[in-house]
Amino acid sequence: MAAPSKKLQDALNAQIVAEFHSAYVYLSMAAYFEAENWPGFAKWMRVQSREEVEHAMKIFDFVNDRGGRVQLGAIEKPPVRFASPLDAFRKAYEHERKITQKIHKLYDLAVQEGDYPTQVMLQWFIDEQVEEEKITSEAVARLERAGDHPHALLMLDRRFGKREE
Ligand code: FEO
């Protein structure tokens, strides 16, 4: 099996960078939560950030396994200011929606290029994005319900901190 076409390799390389950018976005959110004394939300974001590195590495390994050439690019600066826990999780949800669009476009390209292994590899990401949107939108809904009630927010922080590594 030949390596993915040049066009597809470029798009896969761009997705590797997008996943590292996601890791950066969540790490930036973790830093915000650490600074604001929300240890549970911070832990959740750290775990999420690490998962994003795994996503990047999945594509990295795939390109190499196919005899392609991984070329890393610059990682854009993540947002650093957040108004509240709700604001951070809303941004997380919006971020995931954008990533879903990127994955779908990448899949379309793999179809156009007639590259079946890339299509199969991307199916994992298509499923994963359903999960990513679900968990971030649920977090937004919980935070909206908690509103400004300190007790409810503290309980949520504790619950989010139980996320497994
Ligand atoms: Fe790699 Fe959060 O999607």
Residue 165 lies in a domain: no
83 Cα–ligand 1 center, Å: 23
58 in a structural domain: yes
Is residue 60 situated within a structural domain?
yes
Ligand 1 atom closest to the CA of 99, numbered from 1: 3
Tell whether 25 is covered by a domain: yes
Dist. CA 101 → ligand 1 center (Å): 11
Measured in Å, residue 95 CA sits from the centre of ligand 1 at 9
Q: What is the pLDDT of residue 165?
A: 84
In a domain, 1, yes or no: no
Q: Which atom of ligand 1 is the closest one to the Cα of 52?
A: 1
- Residue range of the domain that includes 80: 6-160
- Residues in the chain with pLDDT values less than 70: none
Task: Residue 146: name the closest of 38, 8, 18 by CA.
Answer: 38
Nearest to 106 by CA among 13, 7, 11: 11
pLDDT digits (tens, 9 = 90+) for 16-55: 999 999 999 999 999 999 999 999 999 999 999 999 999 9
Residues with a CB atom less than 6 Å from ligand 1? 19, 22, 52, 55, 96, 99, 132
Question: pTM score, two decimals?
Answer: 0.96
CB count, 10 Å around CB of 101? 11
Q: Which atom of ligand 1 is nearest to the CA of 55?
A: 1
Distance between Cα 19 and ligand 1 center (Å): 6
Residue 97 placed within a domain: yes
Question: Which of 96, 70, 89 lies closest to 139 in space, CA to CA?
Answer: 89
Q: Distance (Å, rounded) from C-alpha 113 to C-alpha 8? A: 8
Taking all residues of the chain, what is their mean pLDDT, rounded to a whole number?
97
Going by alpha carbons, the residue nearest to atom 1 of ligand 1 is 52
Sign for the CA dihedral angle at 81, 85, 86, 90 comes to positive
- Assess if residue 95 is contained within a domain: yes
CATH classification at residue 129: 1.20.1260.10
Closest ligand 1 atom, residue 132 Cα: 2
How many domains is the chain partitioned into structurally? 1
From CA 72, how far away is CA 93, in angstroms rounded? 25
